[in-house]
Amino acid sequence: MNQWSIERKRIIFSIVALALVTLIGAPLFFWLYDAPTCFDTKQNGDETGIDCGGSCRLLCTAESLPLVLNGDPRVLKVSENTFEVVVSVNNTNTLGEIYRAGYTFKVYEAQNTIPIKVIEGDTFVPKGATFAIFEGPFNLGEGVKPTRVTFEWKEDSLVWQKNVSPVPELKVEGLNLSREITSPHLDANITNLSLENVSNIDLIAIVSDESGNIYAASKTFIETLPAGKTAPLVFTWPEPFRETGNNICDYPADVSLVIDRSGSMNDLGLNPPQPLTDVKNTALYFISQFGKNIQHSLVSFANESSQPIDATLGFNLITIRQAVNDISIATTSAQNTNIGAGILSAREELNSLRHRKGTDKALVLLTDGVATLPDKAGVKDYPKTHALESAELAKKDGISIYTIGLGKNVDVDLLKRIATSTSEAYFAPSTNELNDIYQQIATKICKIGLAKINVYVRIFPDRSFLK
């Protein structure tokens, strides 16, 4: 057999063998071959553990960093017998999340090793984020005083999953905390900077002091925030962050009360003079809202401001209270309304050597009428102009001005222009509203040491987490 015949037989044999492998071997291979998956309880393919790591959605335990608590969990009083618990958590796994992570809060009284309340729940752990877990409010019954709380994860529920999808960008800004010593109120705005609508947004506000101690927490949620839109946020608390009384103001302020004692301040009664008597009582209430960091002074005015003023800046509450009680309406002549004179006298006192350098200055003016003095020949509405010019001088000296118009005969526009802003101008139809107004002003003047406000934002995977 020549060489050519041998080569031909080899070629034919190779073709037949290849055909048999293709027609029989390939189907048999695919029928018998068990491809590696992320659910076959084996470590195969590119997995770094059994059904985890590599291209699998589940992350192996060794590949995930532990969840870290940012400080201790806190138990917070909401109102009498009612409390809430909160903890801040940091997940440093930039691609790792947990759909439902179980946890347990345990609340204790002082020196008690047995919890008075146990709270169990589960939550979504977002990738690469700091978030807060909040439970409450709950009632513990009369006389129960919790002092501490612990937090633990249910380890068997910490199933890490990989998520490479981009996180929608939400921005919270414009935080404004007010009424800290009455009924705290936190306003803010949230904007969806993403190109798509975002749903199931959980928001928890935590307020802390300079030492990192948590004063309060509050929770809200948004069902859907359209792309590119901004929505308002409101967090409220029913009780003050600190009980009223001594030392409620962590930062000092010098305050001058400026009170109208013109003839109209006894139009509602002569014995005792009304509304002057009610005004003095509410002024005393206003003074009682502050602690030892506040200096008070008092200026009363009619045709002119009192000379010397009723009380210079000082800490002696007995002195300032006596000065308020001593305010009376002169009967020797008609008593008109020189608002500008009252402002100038208060300004002079707030700029005196008795003022503490670097301390906030506030002027709180109350009147029941319109400016009628001083006169200036040839100048129309000079009493009003004089009051405005006096207010501008005070504002240039860094004095915050709050105005209160009592009754229906006040110049609303003038009082709004005298005040530092229109939100610092208040109007009371009667003396019944004065306590509330003075309290609102006190909360703006009195500042407590709240150094940090955090609003933690989480986007839940579905509505089942909203509660």
Inside any domain, residue 37: no
Cβ atoms 325, 287 nearer than 8 A: no
pLDDT of residue 408: 94
Q: What is the pLDDT of residues 380-397, one digit of tens each?
A: 999 999 999 999 999 999
Helix or strand (DSSP H, E) at 257: strand 253-260
440 with 395, same domain: the answer is yes
- pLDDT at 1 (0 to 100): 53
Determine the structural domain holding residue 237 and report its residue range. Answer: 171-242+450-465
Residue 189 near residue 172, CB atoms below 8 Å: yes
257 and 392 belong to one structural domain: yes
Domain total of the chain: 3
Backbone angles phi, psi at 439, to 5 degrees: -65, -40
The residue from 142, 162, 182 where one domain ends is: 162
Q: Considering Cα of 40, then 43, then 46, then 49, what sign does the dihedral take?
A: positive
pLDDT score for 225: 97
In angstroms, rounded to a whole number, what is the distance separating the alpha carbons of residues 73 and 105? 9
Q: Tell me: do 281 and 398 sit in the same domain.
A: yes
Domain boundary among 109, 143, 162: 162
Instruction: Evaluate whether residue 43 is within a structural domain.
Output: no
pTM above 0.75, yes or no: no
Structure confidence at residue 247 (pLDDT): 45
Q: For residue 403, is it within any domain?
A: yes
Q: Is residue 9 part of a domain?
A: no
CA–CA dist 414, 211 (Å, integer): 43
Shared-domain flag, residues 269 and 395: yes
| 286, 181: one domain | no
Task: Kindly tell me the sign of the dihedral angle through the C-alpha atoms of 385, 390, 393, 399.
Answer: negative
> Do 119 and 179 share a domain, yes or no?
no
For residues 89 and 206, membership in a common domain is answered with no
CATH of the domain at 147: 2.60.40.10
Extract long-range pairs of 31-34: CB within 8 Å, 24+ residues apart.
none
Q: What is the CATH number of the domain that holds 302?
A: 3.40.50.410
Q: What is the pLDDT of residue 59?
A: 78
Report, as ranges of residue numbers, the positions in the chain whose pLDDT lies below 70.
1-6, 8-9, 13-14, 16-37, 39-40, 51, 181, 210-211, 242-248, 448-451, 467
